[in-house]
Chain A
Amino acid sequence: MIKLKIDNKSVEVPEGTSVMEAAKAAGIHIPAMCMDEELDHFTSCMLCLVKDATGRMFPSCSVAASGGMRITTDDEEIREGRRIALELLLSEHVGDCEAPCQLGCPAHMNIPLMNRLIAGGKWEESLRVVKRDIALPAVLGRICPAPCEGACHRKTVDEAVSICLLKRFVGDENDLHPWPVPALNGKRAAIVGAGPAGLAAAYYLRLKGVDAHLFDRAGKPGGQLRTAISHDILPEEVLDKEINTILETGVVFHGGVTVNDTFFDELKNSYDALVLATGNIDDLTKSFQLKGTPKGIEVNRETYETSEKGVFAIGNVIRSSRLAVRSVAQGKEAAFSVIQYLNDETIRGEPRMFNSRFGKLHDLEFAEYLKEANPARRHFPSADFSGFTPGEAIEEARRCMHCDCRAAGNCKLRIYSDNCQADQKRFQTTPRRAITKQIQTSGVVYEKEKCIKCGICVRLTKKYREKFGLTFIGRGFDVIIGIPFDESLDAALVQTAQMVARHCPTGALEIREMN
């Protein structure tokens, strides 16, 4: 056994243990991407750099711990090194973590997932996905100008996927809130204003166990949705039905109540948190003594906190906008802040992960992207204001090209880039490579432009004696992981497909979901 100190923690490990394993034994996690529990170290990603007492840096995965070592696994210099390593990897990593449509959506809705669920005929699941970010899909499916469709990669190929109508379809297909609501947790929040922002805030707070009370001047909830939009576009029964699904979760509506300064103070005293969503204000005297800007009440743009503790503001009261989806989005985001505030946590708002992005698709890539999509043209409903039939919805949803990365949720490159606040553009000094997709008949998808050349798949296919397997081709910057003799991916991965996909640290090799 040998004794060493890692980040001032003493640890004792058997001889031959790597510094990384020794750190693990001491409960210290060192980031790494090219290490795999099934394989020997390879020393490629260099994320696991640590330093010894002399300040010398080395990769902890492949250096054995020795007695008396004093290792530092995290300091400013090491963090800088890791960040640069990640930024170098990101500079040639061509892929979108989240699809551009999702990033274009103010509510950040997981559109590609919704599309796939619709394509698979899974209505209820698709509604769950939509409602995670958008409280009023049937409503927005009628009035949203759909910034998501402007960002859709399919738009460069032919026409954008009809995302907005698909969302409407999901909203229309469901009568009630089809899943249980958690029990109340004893916290209470007042939401002033029952327009799209207020409704959304109340809904998400209630879904997190908060007793949510909506106050509005009008007798019925809906705000401008009820007053400013033609009934041809947004029929009242659609609005009522969707608002109802929110109220049915247990949100309490108090109609016909004018909130003035006195009542505002009363609400502050009787509720644990307060969300202002009163809509446009023309003069700041109506801002309840909260700090303001010429545009409205001043808030922290990430958290929606106002100048007063426990008071949050969203929607047109902070800045006038014609975009209902933005208000709905802020309602959801503010709910995160309120919960964090109620739980005495640091208020950060809705967490947003690092996103790798590559910009527009090139002509060469159309065919690659269409490999996974319905090649048909966009479907337009026959009549004005009408939506899709289930059959049409499925066909249209299948036009989605799966631009989101299959590894978005567990990609190590993304997670560490997020931790280190890496900047993908920093070292992007050359034009990006064109994206390719190799697809197994049943099994996995290989997108080599996402590969970080850690060689885990190469070593696994060798270990499990694939006839062809995967191998390093070329040298240096041009090295790629490829298949010997240009064989197909089917031939390359006969037994190990699922395994290599599971072990791939990024989204280069991923298991293909089957509908």
Chain B
Amino acid sequence: MPYGVSGLNKEGMENTSRIVDRIIAEKGKEKKALISILQAIQKELNYLPKEALRHVGEHTGITPAEIISVATFYSQFRLRPAGEHMIKICVGTACHVKGSGQVYDAFARKFGLGEGETTDRKGQYTLEKVSCLGCCTLAPVVQIDQVTYGHVTTSQVDEILADFESRAGKKEEKKFRLADGTEIQGEIRIGLGSCCVASGSDEIRKAVETTVNSYGLKVKLKHVGCVGMCHQVPLVEIVPTEGEPTLYSRVKPEDVKDIVGKHFKPPGLFSRLKGKLLDSVEYIQTDAKWEGIERYALDVRDKPVSSFLGNQIPIATEYRGIINPLDIEEYKSRGGFRAIRRALLEMTPTEVVHELKESQIRGRGGAGFPSGIKWELVARHGDLQKYVVCNGDEGDPGAFMDRMLLESYPYRVIEGLIIGAYATGATKGFFYIRAEYPLAVRRIREALATCYRENLLGENILGSGFSFDAEIYEGAGAFVCGEETALLQSLMGNRGYPRIRPPFPAEKGYMGHPTLVNNVETLAQISFILREGAGLFNSIGTIHSKGTKVFALAGKVVRGGLIEVPMGTTIRQVIFEIGGGIANGRTFKAVQIGGPSGGCIPASLADTPIDFESLTEMGAMMGSGGLVVLDDSDCMVDIARFFLSFTQHESCGKCTFCRLGTRRMLDILEKVTQGKARREDLDELEKVALWTKKGSLCGLGKTAPNPVLSTLKYFREEYEAHLEGRCPTGKCTHLIKYQVNEKCIGCTLCAQVCPVNAIPFTPHEKHVIDTGVCIRCDACRPACPENAIDVF
């Protein structure tokens, strides 16, 4: 495997050395700085040139072996130059079930990429598959640099690129000037969660700012975090001083003027005229080529929405949609940091641990280990140097609640971490956050700075005598680093290789010292427990699973988004009462819970309460909390194959069963989806799955077979159909054919969208698909206005 392409001239090399020297001076020469050094080099040089890596080896205490092993382990790092723009195609679960694979292929075709190639010939674009962009409700999603396109279809590639290129070079509009505060007419709230931002809320924000400026309105403009209505984004909520608030969903920038104008009267004629003038000018400038999502306004009190919000208990997501993520005063006014005061000023560390144990909270990261016991283990340890780590390396391709919590409630998570540090006696903490979450990193960074200013971090916090420092550590792209021992390795600048436990991190963690590793969601629930008391928390939920759980609800459900429900809520309640049932009139088939570690629970078991034990019993797992709803058009073999291709790609490769077991399972599943498998292959698949579960070193490998085992258990007949060369849902491209039926009116739309000219251009005649040429990209079927294309 060649790596580290060189090709720099002398000048380039001198320049590289200077840059690398500066980065080393900034990040340090110790191994724990390695990942951030590499990140910084890549940021400046676009990739990791061999010369730069050698330079690191020669000017730090880090060996060439360590540098290369780390640079080739994390998927963030590139050893070859990338194109000018990165096209990230989300291949997360929700995007997958909505056809992201075909979208990727369409882009690859557009750039004429061969096997293994990712950059177009001009070096303009590099295609990259990413496991989740965290806006599942817009699936399938494509992100080009900072611009996100949602609901992408295979035939939109040209439009998207044209739109992207037309934006390039456009000047940023003037920044919003704050209203003076007198005569406030009301408040305009704009969602700035990931889904909102991805769906264009930043555009909306600018449009609102422009409108407010040009109208000269006296309104308060407020940025709020995720309200969980991700299926309706971007959201704009108008809260007039008098009268009912109104929530507008799926807002487009051009709607903003209408919306704002409807609720607020501009103060003077001149401003109004100015507004009109600007309006016409802008209208001409607007490039309306890109047809995004449809828009409509709806009232927050409409029945489906209130049920969407109503059946839930927000603890981790307390005050969602109300508080500005970074406004510390607002957080305080809503009870924020009251828990810290109580813990640090009124309780001993032992009492805090006791309170946590009382609450019976279990780790939200997946396995459900009782958090109180974990805290106690660290607290009891005699070592004077202890650490706490917030595990924000969420990697499930269908879940994004950690990201949302970090982005929307940074203070709540920080508060949890500080309390954890106090209770366990740790003096130093880390936020380990996925590199793919730049907004979360930014928010936490700003929130940490504010906390330092407010003496919530640093020396002698709030006069309690307790001192604690916290910093951010950006991950570099490795799902396995969600496993705590691998995460700690990564934190120390190594490959994310997990190791056997015991010893647990609570005894021997970061740099060999006792370390408390808690998931983001767990930490986000700590302040509630300390503020409201363990009793209130443990009154929620089931006997063994207390409190609430945040889920990312996505897939074929009417209303997707983030939800927080009490443990013990049934799958049916979540899908039908909260999610509004199955979209497009299809039938509920199964729900995939827990992502790559979880499993598929069939519709017949929809009354299963969601808690740690019942899910495990069903062959699924709480896992990350991804909840992807599948309908009768989803192929279960394809779903299993999808997850295995993910875990196979993410296996660290340390132990035999995971490194090879996941690969061999994937191979067999591919054989099945291609109709080439025999009955014995299913037995072998099951054998490898069972042994990968039993024999793997860490949680990744031990749970990776779950998607296979659960689908084999509940949907074996679908596997068997594939053995006979049939894919009952028409998903597996090797087993299906496209054909034009009698409804065809000869409109040529299908012929126009076909990327491989498999449909001759024959106006007013019934079209014919050449199945030998057809690549089953599914571009023609949605393009047909008459439903004249059958798949079978």
Interface residues of A (CB under 8 A from B): 41-47, 49, 57-59, 62-64, 80-81, 84-85, 88-89, 91-92, 426-427, 429-430, 452-453, 458, 461-462, 466-480, 482, 484-487
Contacts and interface: CB of A to CB of B under 8 A. Distances in A.
A389 B69 CA distance: 53
Interface in B59-76: 63-69, 72-73, 75
A471 B65 contact: yes
8 contacts: A62-B500, A427-B660, A427-B664, A475-B72, A476-B653, A476-B659, A484-B57, A485-B4
Contacts of B691: 80-81, 84-85
The 10 closest A-B CB pairs, nearest first, are A429-B667, A484-B64, A471-B65, A479-B653, A88-B660, A476-B651, A484-B68, A476-B653, A477-B663, A471-B69
A63 B697 CA distance: 12
Given A474-B73, A477-B651, A91 B664 contact: yes
B695 A477 contact: no
Contacts of B657: 46, 84-85, 88
B557 interface: no
Contact of A429 (B65, B69, B671, B694): B671
Given A44-B654, A475-B652, A91 B660 contact: yes
A88 B668 CA distance: 13
A91 B688 CA distance: 13
B236 interface: no
B64 A46 contact: no
A85 B655 CA distance: 10
Nearest to A482: B1
B654 to A, nearest CB: 6
Contact of B694 (A43, A81, A466, A467): A81
B262 to A, nearest CB: 54
Interface in B605-664: 648-657, 659-664
Contact of B68 (A41, A426, A473, A477): A473
A57 B657 CA distance: 13
A471 B67 CA distance: 9
A280 B68 CA distance: 67
Contact of B697 (A59, A427, A462, A471): A59
A150 B684 CA distance: 35
Contact of A472 (B63, B478, B495): B495
A403 B360 CA distance: 63
B2 interface: yes
Given A469-B64, A472-B73, A477-B662, 9 more contacts: A44-B655, A44-B697, A89-B660, A427-B684, A474-B1, A476-B649, A484-B57, A484-B68, A486-B2
A480 B661 CA distance: 17
| Overall SS of chain B's interface | helix
B688 A84 contact: yes
B664 A44 contact: no
Given A89-B656, A429-B671, A474-B73, A485 B53 contact: yes
B263 interface: no
B3 interface: yes
A477 B64 contact: no
A20 B663 CA distance: 29
B50 interface: yes
Contacts of B4: 485-486
Question: Contact size class for B?
Answer: 35 or more
Interface in B662-702: 662-664, 667-668, 671, 684, 687-688, 691, 694-697
Nearest to A465: B63
Interface in B496-552: 499-500, 502
Contacts of B129: none
B54 interface: yes
B697 A46 contact: yes
Given A462-B63, A476-B650, A57 B695 contact: yes
A488 to B, nearest CB: 13
A62 B500 CA distance: 7
Contact of B695 (A49, A472, A480, A486): A49
B686 to A, nearest CB: 12
Contacts of A46: 655-657, 695-697
A407 B313 CA distance: 64
With most chain A CB atoms within 10 A of its CB, the pick from B478, B648, B656 is: B656
Contact of A43 (B54, B478, B697): B697
B660 A43 contact: no
A43 B65 contact: no
Nearest to B657: A46
Contacts of B75: 475
B653 A453 contact: yes
Contacts of A484: 57, 63-65, 67-68
Contacts of B2: 486
A485 B50 contact: yes
Nearest to A471: B65
Q: Which of B651, B660, B663, B671 has the most CB of A within 10 A?
A: B660
A337 B494 CA distance: 56
A84 B502 CA distance: 26
Contact of B65 (A57, A89, A469): A469
B549 to A, nearest CB: 27
Contacts of B66: 471
Contacts of A478: 1, 653
B604 to A, nearest CB: 30
A474 B1 CA distance: 9
A238 to B, nearest CB: 53
Most B C-beta atoms less than 10 A away, residue of A62, A427, A487:
A427
Nearest to A426: B684
B659 A85 contact: no
Contacts of A468: 64-65
B667 A475 contact: no
A85 B656 CA distance: 6
A22 B73 CA distance: 35
B671 to A, nearest CB: 7
A91 B659 CA distance: 12
Which residue, of B57, B72, B667, B697, has the highest number of chain A Cβ atoms within 10 A? B72
A485 B653 contact: no
Nearest to B653: A479
Contacts of A479: 653, 659
A85 B66 CA distance: 28
Count chain A CB atoms within 10 A of each CB in B4, B69, B499, B662 and give the residue with the most: B69
Contacts of B68: 471, 473, 482, 484-485
A230 to B, nearest CB: 53
Contacts of A469: 63-65
Contacts of A92: 660
A453 to B, nearest CB: 7
Contacts of B69: 471-473
B664 A429 contact: yes
A67 B653 CA distance: 33
Interface in B291-322: none
Contacts of A59: 500, 697
A310 B691 CA distance: 45
A43 B695 contact: no
B3 A44 contact: no
A480 B3 CA distance: 13
A85 B72 CA distance: 26
Nearest to A62: B500
Nearest to A461: B65
Contacts of B667: 429-430
Nearest to B654: A44
